[in-house]
A and B are shown apart, each in its own frame.
Chain A
Amino acid sequence: MAVTDTAQTARAAGAPELLEPSPGQLLRRRIFGHAGLLIGAVVLVTIFLMAILAPWLAPHDPYDQVLERKLIPPVWFDDPKATWDHILGTDALGRDYLSRLLYGARISLLIGFAAMLISGVIGTTIGVLAGYFGGRVDMVANFIITTRLSMPVVLVAIAVVSLVGSSLTVVIWVLGLLIWDRFAVVMRSATMQVRDLDFVASAQALGCSTPRILLTEIMPNIVNNLIVVATVEMAHAIILEAALSFLGMGVQPPEPSWGLMISEAKGLMFFEGWLIFIPGIALFMLVLAINLLGDGVRDVTAPEGRN
């Protein structure tokens, strides 16, 4: 048999090596092609900026009560009281709703982020250690996770806050110490998948210390999962804080927590519906943006998982 030039043949067939983009290009392409990811990121960044720039953006002091100006509806209402001075209207104590909304964003973002960090550290530590060492460590970790999962989060959070006293710090710590379970579960299974791969085995064979292996070999490969869970839990924390504040067991008045604003407007909602609608929409959009971002990150970093 005569020998044919394989490379020539391959090139004639449109060989792949000339057409493949680099991994960086691929990632960038995927990110910008993903509508959900972009929308989520844009909205989140906007809310974040609004929160940071609140002192400059807010037209009024959010704590300033002007009782003569109470219950003014937003500008788009067909009402003589509506005024551009209070674009989103005022609440029952005459406080400007737009200003409270902007400052409320700070509370939600702060608590969401801080609680996510605390629970992330706790959960990831438990999960990675359980996944890497297996055996008894795993058994104990699973037991702890199961115990935590067996306790009703909202109920315990409310009970603890009622006993210890409610403040921003307390809420952050209570949430952080309660919502770490998903971090633990996801990071555990991610670690288990990576632990058995060859490059880990070679690092072990080289005599690398365990902390080093965990940090340099395992962690970089499970960071994708971490980011996705982080977004989920941040959203979770934000909703929980809103619920706690709604029940009066979270951030206390006169702070403009969105959940608290909804609670304060509860009795008035039949005639002043916007009072619960506006903070509710704000919460909804913030959580939606975070979820879209998380979903987007997951899709972009592991497209094989999609249909």
Chain B
Amino acid sequence: MPERILDVENLSVDIPVPSGMLHPVQDISFHVERGETLAIVGESGCGKSLTSLAIMDLLPSRARRTAAKLELDGRDLSGLSERAMADIRGNRMSMIFQEPMTSLNPAYTIGDQLTEALLRHRDASRAEARQRAVWLLEKVGITGAAGRLRQYPHQLSGGLRQRVMIAMALMCGPDLIIADEPTTALDVTIQAQILHLLADLQREFQTGLILITHDLGVVSRVADRIAVMYAAQIVEEGTAEQIFEAPAHPYTQGLLACIPIPGKTRRGAHLGSIPGIVPSLVGRFQGCHFADRCPHAMARCRADDIAMRAGAEAGHRYRCVLTPEETAANMKRMEAAE
């Protein structure tokens, strides 16, 4: 069995728009190991959601996806027909979306929508499907599971609906789950519960989990590895410890300065901000995407496209012209200044 449940190389998405060609995802490469949680972090519009849709092949019809490699459990996804893809979706890999309030069909019961997921891909009977649905509902922490099957989505709260979505994603025992901002639309108190639930389930079922979020703080306790995205590119990738202890890319450093991290941020310290706005992703863009907002930008940052380079430790990569020593020095200077 391959080590990696998902292997992505040079994934790009192009969308024709009135003003030209939009490139919301540019040459993304990453992988997810069996049973690990990869968090993809970035601000709104950086392309992280489109990346997940690209993997699932659920992009809008006008969009074009290209990839040098796109493999799920060693199986090539890029050339698959829609029928073959449909056999994989919900089955070998599933997805959880951001808005639980609108992600369920209001005309059918919870039970109907749960069992449907299983019956589509397996030769099970209705009774067996219902049994599994009840078992999973209990696993995701819903009480009175058997009775819930007969309820309609509008009778459940947002948090409950998201739990149902998680259960639905697990119905066929997938190898990979992509969770696109699963807690953003929920109350803060529920957010932590859902995240812990995801982490527990992921560990129990040994599924790979891609957690997409804009909230770096959310990620610190749940992710094994983190990929930071900015303006359609992955700008840094490493283990959670590497990213939080020794961020190499100026953007990541800036992000960490923006959020209070318990144990790291001193009381009374100023929270940073990153001035400027994201560059337009229409048409060709030369050089580093972050150059206009980077405090260390130089002429050569804009000259040519920046490639990923290795960080100080193994498994740590980042997209910058600065060497690991230089970035570490910048980090120290920043921390001292606060």
A-to-B contact residues, CB < 8 Å: 1-4, 6, 9-10, 12-14
Cα(A1)–Cα(B256), bound, Å: 13
- The reply to whether B280 and A13 contact each other, CB–CB distance below 8 Å, is yes
- Chain A at the B interface: SS class: loop
- Size class of the B contact interface (CB-based, 8 Å): 10 to 19
Contact A1:B254 (CB < 8 A) given known A10-B277, A13-B279? yes
- Interface 0/1 of B272-305, CB less than 8 Å to A: 1111110110000000000011010000000000
> B residues near A, CB below 8 A?
254, 257, 272-277, 279-280, 292-293, 295, 334
Q: Do B292 and A12 have beta carbons less than 8 Å apart?
A: yes
The B contact surface, by secondary structure, is: loop
Known: A2-B295, A4-B293. A13 touches B277 (CB 8 A): yes
Chain B residues lying within 8 Å of A12, measured Cβ to Cβ, are 279, 292
Cα A9 to Cα B279 in complex, Å, equals 8
The answer to whether B276 and A1 touch across the interface, beta carbons within 8 angstroms, is: no
State whether A6 touches B275 (Cβ < 8 A): yes
CB distance from A9 to the nearest CB of B (A): 4
Decide if A6 touches B257 in the complex (CB within 8 Å). no
Q: How far, in angstroms, from A152 to B275 measured CA to CA in the complex?
A: 66
Inside 8 A of A14's CB, which chain B residues have their CB?
Answer: 280
Given contacts A6-B276, A13-B277, A14-B280, 11 further A-B contacts (CB under 8 A): A1-B273, A1-B274, A1-B275, A1-B295, A4-B276, A6-B275, A9-B292, A9-B293, A10-B277, A12-B279, A13-B279
A6 / chain B contacts, CB cutoff of 8 Å: 275-277
Smallest Cβ-Cβ distance to A2: which chain B residue: B295
CB distance from B160 to the nearest CB of A (A): 31
A9-B277 in contact (CB<8A)? yes
A12 to B295, CA, bound (A): 17
In the bound complex, residues from chain B placing their C-beta under 8 Å from that of A2 are 295
A-B contacts, 26 listed (Cβ < 8 Å): A1-B254, A1-B257, A1-B272, A1-B273, A1-B275, A1-B295, A1-B334, A3-B275, A4-B276, A4-B292, A4-B293, A4-B295, A6-B275, A6-B276, A6-B277, A9-B276, A9-B277, A9-B292, A9-B293, A12-B279, A12-B292, A13-B277, A13-B279, A13-B280, A13-B292, A14-B280
Complex alpha-carbon distance, A3 and B293, angstroms = 8
